[in-house]
Structure formats: structure tokens, C-alpha cells
Structure 1
Amino acid sequence: MSKIITIAHQKGGVGKSTLALNLAYSFAKNVNTILTDIDPQGSTIQLQGLIPDVTIIPFSNNIYDQNFEALFIDTPPYLMNEMLPIFLKSDLVIIPTKAGVPDIMAIRSTVELVKEAQKSNKKLKAAIVLNMVKPRASITEQAKEQLIEYDLPIIGEIKDRVAYTNTFLTGGVLTSSDENAKEEVRKLTSEILELL
């Protein structure tokens, strides 16, 4: 059965595209995977034809009719009119956030839109991923305490590693020599599968 996973956060710079690409790479090892991007800047779409294993195609209303087992939708750094219909079609919305107060506060609108979509799409699940985490554990724990108010599971923890940006065109971190980064993506992939 096909699954639609949307990566969304209204704030830019939280690593949505890098996370979407690495998860698409991870899923593509086992299932037919498509990655699309609704951001008008289209940074992910520019990788079309340049990366192995993952089909990247522009977003359109008939994308849901494509042959896929996993569809990842990368979104822009703001909430646009198309977001609610996309959430209504999704099985899971992943909200990546940095462990800083402005980033955590900024997810409120995204969470509210997810909860609005869940009124109509009862199967829609959502989760928060701490992304680009700096190596100070106390900040991470404080962030988790602040995120409790959103009443969503916190899955995975992706550290701020060079491997994530260095492997954008070469198969994601799973092809890198950074074993810690590989384990982070594997763990997050496993947690996503459990939610689905």
C-alpha cells in the first residue's frame, strides 16, 4: 500500500529538503520511492535526473496517481494554500525543527494546520523531528520539554553533521563514511515505519 509523507515547517533553514532527500534515499533501498517539491524555488526538483535510485518529479495534482510505494513531499518555508489539501492526502506529516526557541515557536501554525486536517483525514499522523541538533545535550532536552505542548510524538534526532550536506548528490548519508549519521537516518526510517 502506498504512503504519502510530507515534510513541513513554516520556517526556513530547518533542513526540510535535506531530511526529505535522505529519507527518500533510505526508503528507496526497499520500495519504489518518489520525491517531489512544492516550493516555488524548487531546490529539490533541480536534482531531477542527477541522483540515483529516487524518482524526482515536479508536483502536480496527478502526482498521487503515479506508481509509488512511498511519496515524499518537500514543502516551502511558509504555509501556502496548497498545504491543507496536501495534508488531507498525506499519511504522515513530519515537522522538522531545530532545538532553538524561535524554531520551536514557529511550528505552532504548522501543527494547527495538521490538526485541522486530522479532523477530516482520520488516518493522518504527525510527528516532530529534532533536526540539525548541536552537540549540547541540555539544549536538546530543553527543546523536548518545550515541544510537549504540541502533543505530537518526537521521533528521531538528526545531528548537525557535515555528512548531511556533503552527500546531497551521492546517495545521502547512507553512502557516506559517517556511521553516526547513517544510524540516525536508519533509526528515523524505522520510527516512521512504525508510525505508518
Structure 2
Amino acid sequence: MSKIITIAHQKGGVGKSTLALNLSYRFSHDVKIALTDVDPQGTIMNLKGLVEDFDIINFDNVKKLKKSEYDVVFIDSPPYIIETIQPIFEESDFVLVPTKVGVPDIMAISTTIDLIKKAQKKNKNLKAAIVLNMLKPNVKIKEQAIEQLKKYDLPILSSIHDRISYGSSFLNGGVISSNDKQAKDEIEKLSNEILNLL
């Protein structure tokens, strides 16, 4: 059975696709990975045939993905809630919720987390966590965001900072293959934290 890791937040611009891609690159060093996209914009699907480290596959049915040949399947989700997201959450092993620290991003996270909590009632094994993504170097804002997010009673994982190397990671093997040691360390740490929660 494949492990399903879904990256979700109902707000656009929080870096879901970039995170899904970089986590796929990192995990592919150890296990067989597929990445799929339920976003009609098809950010990930546009990379089909350009990525060699793992497979980019069409999304058909989450139950089929569970029975696929892959060790882990990452699902990138759209920047709004779609009716198919609830069954995806219910079949997932892990939902990662990336958010920026801005007030609109923090406020918008509640809808996604409500759906995760609902899914956890059906799937008792579903784990979820929040990651502060595209973080600017402002410690005070980060601390304020963490305080706001604590009310959701989900683990808050290691932060991912706003680095040029993430923006250019789509076609060059992810930050894991870059010379950006800080970005590499961030993805490595986040990957290990996800594995520890799975």
C-alpha cells in the first residue's frame, strides 16, 4: 500500500506546488515516488516528462493511488476547496498544510483544518501538520503566527524560508541538488519530521 501525502491549503500563493515538488525530490532519494496534481491549473502536470527523479502521474482516484506501485504518492491540491478534497483527505496518511505568516493566510487555514479534522473522524490514522512556508526573516511575526496556529492543535513543523533557490527548483532537481545549503537543510529536516509523524 502506498503512503499518501497531501499538500493542502485553501489559499493560493502559499507555495504548495514548490513544497510538493521539493519533498518529492528529497523522498525520491530513498523510496519510489510519484507526484500528482488535483489542481486544474496543472502546475505539477506541466512538468510531466521534464522530471527524471520520480514519476508525475495523472490523478484518477485516490483509492487507486493507495494500491499503486509507489512507496509514497504526493498530491498537490488547488488554491481553493474542491468537493473531491474530502475523500482525498480521508484516504491520505498525512496532510501537510503550508501557510505564509500573513493575517489572510492564517485566517484562511481554518477551513482546511476543519476538513482535516472531519476526515480524521473517518480515518483515525490520518496525521496532519502545519509548516510556515516562504518565511521572511522576521522573528516577531513568526512567533505571532505560531501563537495563532497553536489553537488548531496540530504539530507545527520546521519552517521553510523564502529563498531564491526554491523558485528555481522546478527544473533543476529541487533544492536538494542545489548549492543552497540552508534550503537543503530545511527540506531535509522537514522530510524527517514528516517521516517521524507517519
Quick check: 1:11–1:106 contact (8 Å CA) kept in 2? yes
The answer to whether residue 189 in structure 2 is matched with residue 180 in structure 1 is no
Q: What secondary structure, in the 3-state scheme, does the structure 1 residue paired with 2:129 have?
A: strand
The answer to whether residue 55 in structure 2 is matched with residue 58 in structure 1 is no
Task: Supply the AA of the counterpart residue of 1:138.
Answer: K
| 1:100 CA drift (Å) | 1.0
- Tell me the distance in 2 between the aligned counterparts of 1:63 and 1:127: 22
- Tell me the distance in 1 between the aligned counterparts of 2:35 and 2:196: 21
Q: What secondary structure, in the 3-state scheme, does the structure 2 residue paired with 1:181 have?
A: helix
- Tell me the distance in 2 between the aligned counterparts of 1:141 and 1:39: 31
Quick check: 2:96–2:131 contact (8 Å CA) kept in 1? yes
Query: Residue in 2 aligned with 1:48?
Result: 48
TM normalised by structure 1 equals: 0.98
Quick check: 2:175–2:184 contact (8 Å CA) kept in 1? yes
Percent sequence identity over matched residues?
59
Q: What secondary structure, in the 3-state scheme, does the structure 1 residue paired with 2:14 have?
A: coil
**1-10 vs 67-76, which moves further:** 1-10
Query: Residue in 1 aligned with 2:2?
Result: 2
Task: Supply the AA of the counterpart residue of 2:31.
Answer: V
Match of 1:99 among 101, 122, 129: 101
- Tell me the distance in 1 between the aligned counterparts of 2:191 and 2:66: 22
Q: Which consecutive residues of structure 2, in runs of 5 or more, have no partner in the other structure?
A: none
Quick check: 1:8–1:74 contact (8 Å CA) kept in 2? yes
Task: Supply the AA of the counterpart residue of 2:170.
Answer: F
Within a 5 Å distance, the mapping from 1:8-157 to structure 2 comes to: 8-61=8-61, 62-157=64-159
Task: Supply the AA of the counterpart residue of 2:190.
Answer: L
- Tell me the distance in 2 between the aligned counterparts of 1:46 and 1:166: 15
Q: Which consecutive residues of structure 1, in runs of 5 or more, have no partner in the other structure?
A: none
| 1:124 CA drift (Å) | 0.3
- Tell me the distance in 1 between the aligned counterparts of 2:65 and 2:125: 20
| 1:58 CA drift (Å) | 1.1
- Tell me the distance in 1 between the aligned counterparts of 2:68 and 2:42: 20
- Tell me the distance in 2 between the aligned counterparts of 1:117 and 1:111: 10
TM normalised by structure 2 equals: 0.97
Task: Supply the AA of the counterpart residue of 1:122.
Answer: K
| 1:101 CA drift (Å) | 1.1
Task: Supply the AA of the counterpart residue of 2:173.
Answer: G
Quick check: 1:47–1:56 contact (8 Å CA) kept in 2? yes
- Tell me the distance in 1 between the aligned counterparts of 2:140 and 2:54: 37
Query: Residue in 2 aligned with 1:165?
Result: 167
Query: Residue in 2 aligned with 1:190?
Result: 192
Quick check: 1:161–1:181 contact (8 Å CA) kept in 2? yes
Quick check: 2:3–2:72 contact (8 Å CA) kept in 1? yes
- Tell me the distance in 2 between the aligned counterparts of 1:145 and 1:52: 40
